[in-house]
Structure formats: structure tokens, C-alpha cells
Structure 1
């Protein structure tokens, strides 16, 4: 009798455990509609179950990457963060140097560093979420969204793929007779400034590619206009919070100028902040490799953007001249004749440099962020050959990566 009672108790506990775990799983796997912020889709964490890297492969990768790191980064007195992952599982990471050399604050896995133009990947994602939510269209003219925008033919798409023809704000505001550098320039100043000073386009929209920070400064304004939130809050609500990116934020010059990690020249002399340091969208996101890995994996979630839109993101738009480099919607790429592609984005602002590599076919993620100027950050691409058939050699210096 006692034995039967024990069996019944065991079966009851087992069924309760199964029901509880199913309930928890249902809670974790929210629908796309449930993940909305207002009427806009937010990002969702990756919920798949990708295989772990085998112990043998992990040992092989760690050994090679350590040798690479010791050869390239250590001799350059690298100060920053470095991470390599496969299937979302970290196989190698290193943190060295200081976020503030004056205060001797060491860099750890939780230290946010300025990711410079890598911010464009995140800004583009927020805009694409608006498109996916049917709040705007890719080919919608910007002047139908931003009041007073003076260029008739520029669309959301041509801002995203750098084919708008806009001039770089850092070049048309750098003369004292047009902008007092004692005054901080803000995104909201750009349209009035352009109109007042009659800033013309560099070329006809969608006629060629020209990488330009102004494109993403306007995309940040579009995010604000459509979400009715400031850019900092919108990025937090649409991307950072849903993905549990706890160590990621958009820099605020007044609030964070003295407390955020600092930026240094190669000789450890600190870069002073200037009148351009409060413009956002093109730069000014601070993050960590672990947080960016969460972001990267979330882009593999089946609920991330509709399939048609996703194809638009990862295709090249600029073929006016022959070459392997191209640009999609917020992402750089190499395109080789055999059809192989590699997606990436680099960044550079003051002494901060960054590199993000997304190997879609192999689901490998490579991230490097430095707060002390060095070009070795960009040599991260060499490690792609460890994961797939990419034409980069680990031996010697490949000048095409600089």
C-alpha cells in the first residue's frame, strides 16, 4: 500500500513539474504582438537551442585565438574588450586595460565602452522595427516624416544604405562663422542649420554610395518622431530592455560626460569631448561584447522582421564600381564571386574603435571594442577563416582589412 502511495506521489510530482516547466516556457516565448512597445514591435531574445561547441573544437579555437590575441593585441597594449562566440556560446573573451586611466578603472565584461559607428547597426534595427510594424515604409520620403526636411528625393532606404547624397554634418558645421563650437550641436539643430546655410546635397540621391554620419542622425530623428519617445528611451524600450542588455546605453553629454568610459589616443592622452559629442544615431551608444552578442543572436529569432524585409537588409545596394565591399541596410558586407558573404560593421570616434562581425552561415559572432586608439581592432576579420571558407589569412598582415 505504502509502495503504491509513493508511486502515485512520484507521478503527481512529475506531472506537476512538467506542467510548471511548460507554463514557464510559454511565459518565456512571448508572441511578436506581446513584445510590442505601444504599436511598435520590439526585439525578442533568441529562444532557439543551438548546439554547444564540442570540447575538441572549443580547445582548438581557444588555442588559435589566444595565439592571435597575444600576437596582435597584447603588443599594442590593447585596452578594451574582445569576444568570439559560436551558436551564441562564448568560446573566447578577454578584457584588459582601463576605462579611465586617470582613475585606474579596469575594463571588465560589464564595462560599457563607446562602440562608435557600430551604433549604426542598432539604430538601423530600430528603424527596421518601425518598418516591420508598418509605421513607416522603406521607400517613404523623409520629408513626409520630418517637418521641414528640405530634400525632396531622399527616402528612408537611402538614409539606411548611405545613398542619400547628404553631406557630413561634421564638415559643414566646422567653421566658426557658421557654428559656435562652444555650443553643443544636437540632432534637432540639423534641419534648421541646413536650411539657414543652404547646404546642398553632395550628389543626386540614390546615384551612388557615400558613407555619411548625417544619414543616421536623421534616422534617430525619425525614430523619435514615430515612437513619440526620445532616441535614448526608444532604443532602451525597443532593443536594450527586451534583450536584457543591462550594460548598454545611449550617451548623454551632460549626464555621462564625466562618468562614462573615456577615450584615449595611442599614448593614453585623453580625447577631450567637443561640440559634436551629443549627436546620436550614428554613434554614442556604449555597450559590451556580451550585450552585443545578445543582440546578434536576437537577429536569428524567426520573429525578427518579416522575411521579405530581412532580405532587403542583407543585400548590397551599391554596384557603380567593381569590388567586394558593399553596404546593406545598416550593415557592411564583403561579397565574393563564389556567392559567399560576410557581414560586419566597424567604428571609430575619437580614440575609440570597434568591430562587429556576423558570420550568418556559421552563426559565429566576433566583437572587439577599444577605448585607446588602435587599428588592430579591425584585424578581427582575420579570425573569420576559423569558422568558414573566408579568404583571410591568419598569418601575416592583410592590408585590405585596415
Structure 2
């Protein structure tokens, strides 16, 4: 082989490698489990500065009008194509110690935790470690509800009762003892708790479903939920300010939450149950999660199609629930995917505009319902029927 031929072969090989790398054909090395969520392989197109500035101004006008310039305890982010257009961190992380909220303050994301729990379950299903229609009796011998499956937990059609409706009864458990997920399973299996409705006949939003899904994750992975979530989601995505609070967590680690008048909420007997709640995170960490969840490598196409559809049409209306995600469906075919949360003084909202590559995240640790209304900002990025225009145009 001549020196010139060697040079050209080397050059072509190098160009092929670069081309493969740019197209996403070569994946980044990761030594974790096959079912881990990984960051997107390819970046989304960069946004023009003029576009970002215009959107930032529109968002600013809306929230100034909406909050009346009173931004108490809000941690808020809007991003498109992975780029942060607007973020704001206001109020106290800990009023007693005069600590302010910041981009690194983990707040209790309440039921937005369900989206992350569902994502871990879906990754296990995609990796053939679990089946979507697998019955819980195959995982927990003696489980009394023979028709409850992983799917009916994910879409809230299991028919089980809400655990806070029966565990406060001293004859069943009582308010004086901290309840764990394993305790809840034991109660269900020994106290003859009847179903509320026949399985897979009605939608009933129910924290019991996701407390059970956390136990499914533990059963399949052989690890505690907090460790499994670190391995499947938090660590591979670089969510460094995200963690699970459970019965082993020191209480002074958790960012407190407050009533509307800044009276701090204390811990109660339900505060160790996880899966349905008890993930602490930040808007920036949830942005990383959203990018991974909306990447082509998140799930196989067939499974993904089952995630983003409604399962409950017994009653007419635009609201429905998929597999771990809420949705609004309008007659024009437009769909909004989101999840809200509330626990004690914490409220949260995660709005993922899949077709616009946009995410809106709002967290608050001082009770307010305004967190949920920030979904109206969806109208700035797509044809979503929210009354934003008048509010913005009339704002300062």
C-alpha cells in the first residue's frame, strides 16, 4: 500500500466516523442497566435570539399580569428545543432560616412524581423485564385483586381504594404510625380492603396505584425505589438535585412547604409513601428528564403509542389519562400532555408540548393554585385553546 493510498483510507475512515457520530448512529457509552433513560443523542436546532427574546417578553407580560407582580415562592422554567427561554426563582426555600429558592433548590414535586415513576416502569417494560398487562398476583403472591395489572395501575383503572381513605382508621393502620409502601401492601393483603369499583371499568385518580408501581419497580430491579430511580433516571440524566424522600431520609434534608400564610406544614403518617409523590427536584433537572422522555430512544414506537392515548371515555369531556400522563383532547385533534401535583403546601405542574419541543415547569412550596394556570402559556407555542392573548395584550 502506497503512502497516498494509506492517507486516503485513513481520511475516509475518519469522515465516516464523524458522520456516524453526528447522525446519532454511535451512542454514548453508559455502564448502567439496559433500561436506563439516557440523554438525547442529537441536539435540537438552535433557536434564534430574536425568537427567544420575543417569547421571553410575552411570557414576562403574562406572568406579571397573572401574579400581579407578587411572585411568592415560584420556581418556574420555560424551554424550547432544550434551551431555556425564561426561568424565575422566588420566595423562601426555608423561611425560618432565611434561605431563598434558587435553581438548585429541590422542591417536592408531588404528583408530578407519577410521570417519573411511570417512565421507570415503561423502561422496564420496553426492556422485557416486565409486561404491560402483567397481573400483580404474579409479582406479589396473595395480592387480593386478581384482575389488577400494571396497565390498570398506570392509567388509574385498577378500581382500588385510595390509601388515605382507609389507612387513617386505627383498626386498619392509624395516624400514629408512619406508613410505608410495604406496610400499605401488607394492609391490602391482610385487612380485606374491598375494591372501590370493578377493575378496568372506571377511571379513578388514585395514589394507591402509584405506590404499588413503586413496589413493582423494587420487585423487578431488586433495589429500593430510591436507588432504582437513581439508576434508571436521575444519575444517567445528570439530575444532580433530584432525590426520593422515604422513611430512611432525614427530615431536615427536605425543603419545607408552607400554607398560604407561611405556616409550615409538619410531617404526617403518610409522608413516607413514595411513587405517587415524594420526589424532590428542580425545574432544570425536570428539563433534562423531559428531553430524554421526548427523545426517539425513550421507548419503542408501539409502546409509546400506548402511553399518549386516553383510556377512559365513560364520561364525555376533554380530560383523559394515558399511561402516567394527563391529557386534554379537543375536537380539532389537538392534544395537551401534562401532569399537576399537590401535597401539603407543594403544588407542581409539568406541561410537555411534544410537537413543539417545549416544556413548561412550575413548582411552588407555598400553597397556591396559580401553579396550575401556567399551562395557559402553551398558547404561545402552539394552537392550544387557552385565553392567553387577551391577558397578555392587556398586561404591562
TM-score, normalised to structure 1's length? 0.89
Counterpart residue number, 1:6: none
Correspondences of 1:37-116 after superposition (within 5 Å): 37-38=32-33, 40-73=34-67, 75-116=69-110
Q: In structure 1, the residue corresponding to 2:355 is in which secondary structure? A: coil
For 2:188 and 2:267, locate their aligned partners in 1 and report how far apart those are by CA, in whole Å.
24
Task: Note the C-alpha offset of 1:259.
Answer: 2.2
Q: In structure 1, the residue corresponding to 2:320 is in which secondary structure? A: strand
Contact 2:24–2:42 at 8 Å: present in 1 too? no
Task: Note the C-alpha offset of 1:256.
Answer: 3.3
Counterpart residue number, 2:257: 263
Contact 1:32–1:303 at 8 Å: present in 2 too? no
Structure 1 portions without partners, runs of 5+: 1-11, 398-402
For 2:28 and 2:48, locate their aligned partners in 1 and report how far apart those are by CA, in whole Å.
36
Task: Note the C-alpha offset of 1:63.
Answer: 0.8
> 1:361 aligned to 2:358?
no
For 2:114 and 2:26, locate their aligned partners in 1 and report how far apart those are by CA, in whole Å.
27
Q: After superposition, what is the alpha-carbon deviation per residue over 1:177-217, rounded to whole angstroms, capped at 9, x for unaligned? A: 33232211000012221233211001011101000000000
Counterpart residue number, 2:280: 286
Contact 2:246–2:273 at 8 Å: present in 1 too? no
Task: Note the C-alpha offset of 1:46.
Answer: 1.4
Contact 1:313–1:330 at 8 Å: present in 2 too? yes
- Taking a change above 3 Å as real, the CA distance of residues 352 and 31 of structure 1, as seen in their structure-2 partners, is farther
Correspondences of 1:110-259 after superposition (within 5 Å): 110-259=104-253
- Taking a change above 3 Å as real, the CA distance of residues 49 and 31 of structure 1, as seen in their structure-2 partners, is closer
Q: Which is worse superposed, 143-152 or 164-173? A: 143-152
For 2:210 and 2:117, locate their aligned partners in 1 and report how far apart those are by CA, in whole Å.
7
Task: Note the C-alpha offset of 1:59.
Answer: 1.5
Q: After superposition, what is the alpha-carbon deviation per residue over 1:338-363, rounded to whole angstroms, capped at 9, x for unaligned? A: 11111000000000000000111111
Q: CA RMSD in A?
A: 2.5
- Taking a change above 3 Å as real, the CA distance of residues 332 and 314 of structure 1, as seen in their structure-2 partners, is same
Aligned length in residues: 382
Q: In structure 2, the residue corresponding to 1:258 is in which secondary structure? A: helix
Counterpart residue number, 2:3: none
Task: Note the C-alpha offset of 1:80.
Answer: 2.7
Counterpart residue number, 1:310: 304
- Taking a change above 3 Å as real, the CA distance of residues 261 and 164 of structure 1, as seen in their structure-2 partners, is same
For 1:72 and 1:172, locate their aligned partners in 2 and report how far apart those are by CA, in whole Å.
39
Q: After superposition, what is the alpha-carbon deviation per residue over 1:272-294, rounded to whole angstroms, capped at 9, x for unaligned? A: 10010000000000001111011
Task: Note the C-alpha offset of 1:19.
Answer: 5.8
Q: In structure 2, the residue corresponding to 1:236 is in which secondary structure? A: helix
TM-score, normalised to structure 2's length? 0.91
Contact 1:33–1:41 at 8 Å: present in 2 too? no
Contact 2:22–2:42 at 8 Å: present in 1 too? no
Counterpart residue number, 1:339: 333
Counterpart residue number, 2:271: 277
Contact 1:217–1:280 at 8 Å: present in 2 too? yes
Task: Note the C-alpha offset of 1:77.
Answer: 4.3
For 1:215 and 1:141, locate their aligned partners in 2 and report how far apart those are by CA, in whole Å.
13
For 2:16 and 2:83, locate their aligned partners in 1 and report how far apart those are by CA, in whole Å.
23
- Taking a change above 3 Å as real, the CA distance of residues 49 and 303 of structure 1, as seen in their structure-2 partners, is same
Task: Note the C-alpha offset of 1:53.
Answer: 2.1
Contact 1:118–1:354 at 8 Å: present in 2 too? yes
Q: After superposition, what is the alpha-carbon deviation per residue over 1:288-330, rounded to whole angstroms, capped at 9, x for unaligned? A: 1111011101122222111000000001101111110000000
Structure 2 portions without partners, runs of 5+: 1-6, 392-396
